Chains A and B, each alone.
Chain A
């Protein structure tokens, strides 16, 4: 059964060109001076009950906008959208009763109140009966050390603790669908892995459908079978994460910084690297901020160490970094036929 269904969904923002001061405010009320931003265009998607879908894309791809439409915060400009059989904006309060939402950096707990009081208020708001409340609180207690935080006001929690509390709180009323918009943003590795564990356990336990956005592919690898990649408001890939991982898992980004005097030699560097390695298609190069050059290297064909050695030998390298391939590069690769 499709829990979430999007058909040619679009969202165009009208952005007001604002004026200053009180008279400006009054003028703006009747102003027609708009700019249109096409955040989501013709997006189609179907998600089955119980699935965890990873929703990724570069900055500004339209992920949050799509989530805001699916939660009933924003009205789509056009297209069809049902979540749990309902049109989200139609009966907002009723719809909210059956879904859960966490927006990355912003807590939905009561800032000044102790953690446990937020849970008690949520229990009243969602009219959760005492026995399922107790049952859920026991589950949460096992997953995260909630009791230790009970009396701490939310404003004193660390970002990671708060995120954990926000995530478990979104499960309190046993929603059918949960939307998590960047639940791991700004967190260190150890908290990230705890968050993944909590999401995974709760999903298995409750069979909740989960849509999750992130910029960290390892979140998706740990949690999802299915990944949807969007760019400029439309889907560029929808399929198994395995295919993406096997395609790009061996890709690494090698970042190299050269001293200012060498800036000009960039073209020459490219020619020289490409000339030296016969599998030139396995290496792409681009210039980034102040003196940094990024090489994306497919390790199935060329060893990163060989490239590094070669460059280190011929150029006065200042600094290096090695990273996993970014979502942006994957999207770029897909456009170039990488996943076809």
Chain B
């Protein structure tokens, strides 16, 4: 049996080498990082404008919105950092190069995803942490040990939600060959995760809570820290569990997919 340590070691060697190689193209790295920073800041800008005129929206203050936004940036970072190769899967499937990932004594998903580490995503982590500290200072969130543990657990669970949805989207490619359209569609959910579910109407609130649990990425788990613990709805505590269950499903579908993918001729 291969231990997590085995995979961690291999991941680290591949990523270290990969970063070394990437840093040889410094301009490319700087430009893409700056682009990423702009995108992430631009997302909160409209909220800031709105709050210039009104003090609260659906009972949320600007700082609460900022907290949720930055929580989402952090929860979406693992997807950005470790799973960015999802975006290339269509070309590997169509050209048949995907079969290479079957040929090593390793987990196929691990091998595939290990080939890309998205360096520019680190800026998203930095903005997320910075914004979260600022907002929690303004809001007087107490960072007790319990809260820090809760934060880490809920971030891991939350990150698994979008990762799983994207893996499910990518897995469709094993049957339909070109999953680009499906992946782009699912990727748009990412944007909804950044804002409070409460600003949507009841229909979307229902969808984003129970059907495609986007609300569990940032809005619900954030409530753990924004409200006194006992005032929360049950869903707030379930959010990490939803991530884990979704990931188990996504992994199973992926595995079914790699067994039915038949490559291309030659």
Contacts and interface: CB of A to CB of B under 8 A. Distances in A.
A94 interface: yes
B105 A126 contact: yes
A16 B172 CA distance: 13
Given A25-B182, A64-B266, A72 B175 contact: no
B105 A22 contact: no
Contacts of B182: 22, 25-26
B105 A68 contact: no
Which of B17, B259, B266: most chain A CB closer than 10 A? B266
A25 B102 contact: no
Interface in A88-134: 89, 92-97, 101, 103, 106, 108, 110, 112-114, 117, 120-121, 124-127
Contacts of B100: 103, 106, 108
Interface in B236-266: 259, 262-263, 265-266
A73 interface: yes
B169 to A, nearest CB: 10
Interface stretch (B7-15, B72-80, B219-227): B7-15
Interface string A68-84: 10011111000000000
A95 B2 CA distance: 14
B21 interface: yes
A121 B179 contact: no
A97 B21 contact: no
B147 interface: no
Contacts of A92: 102, 108
Contacts of A71: 102-103
Contacts of B181: 21-22, 25
Interface in B160-202: 172, 175-179, 181-182, 185
Contact of A75 (B9, B22, B178, B259): B259
B105 A93 contact: yes
Contact of A112 (B18, B103, B175, B179): B18
A291 interface: no
Interface string A1-38: 00000000000011010100110011011000000000
A218 B196 CA distance: 69
B105 to A, nearest CB: 4
A18 B97 contact: no
Contact of A110 (B9, B14, B106, B175): B14
Which of A73, A113, A117: most chain B CB closer than 10 A? A73
B91 interface: no
- Majority-rule SS of B interface residues: helix
B266 A96 contact: no
Interface in A55-75: 60, 64, 68, 71-75
A13 B2 CA distance: 33
A76 B104 CA distance: 20
B107 interface: yes
Which of A25, A71, A74, A97: most chain B CB closer than 10 A? A25
A50 interface: no
Given A73-B99, A108-B100, A121-B10, A13 B176 contact: no
A114 B6 CA distance: 22
A74 B172 contact: no
A125 B103 contact: no
A249 B24 CA distance: 53
A124 B175 contact: no
A22 B181 CA distance: 5
Contact of B185 (A22, A94, A101): A22
Contacts of B97: 106
A167 B179 CA distance: 33
Contacts of A18: 176-178
Interface in B76-131: 97, 99-100, 102-108, 115
A12 to B, nearest CB: 10
A16 B18 contact: no
A112 B178 contact: no
A156 to B, nearest CB: 12
A108 B103 contact: yes
24 contacts: A18-B176, A18-B178, A22-B182, A25-B178, A28-B176, A64-B266, A68-B99, A68-B263, A73-B99, A92-B102, A96-B102, A96-B103, A96-B104, A96-B105, A101-B103, A103-B100, A110-B115, A117-B17, A121-B10, A121-B13, A121-B14, A121-B17, A124-B9, A126-B105
Given A101-B103, A110-B115, 18 more contacts: A16-B176, A25-B172, A25-B182, A28-B175, A68-B99, A71-B102, A74-B262, A103-B99, A106-B100, A110-B14, A110-B17, A112-B18, A112-B21, A117-B17, A121-B17, A125-B104, A125-B105, A153-B21
CB-CB nearest 7 A-B residue pairs:
A22-B181, A97-B105, A28-B176, A96-B105, A112-B21, A93-B105, A73-B102
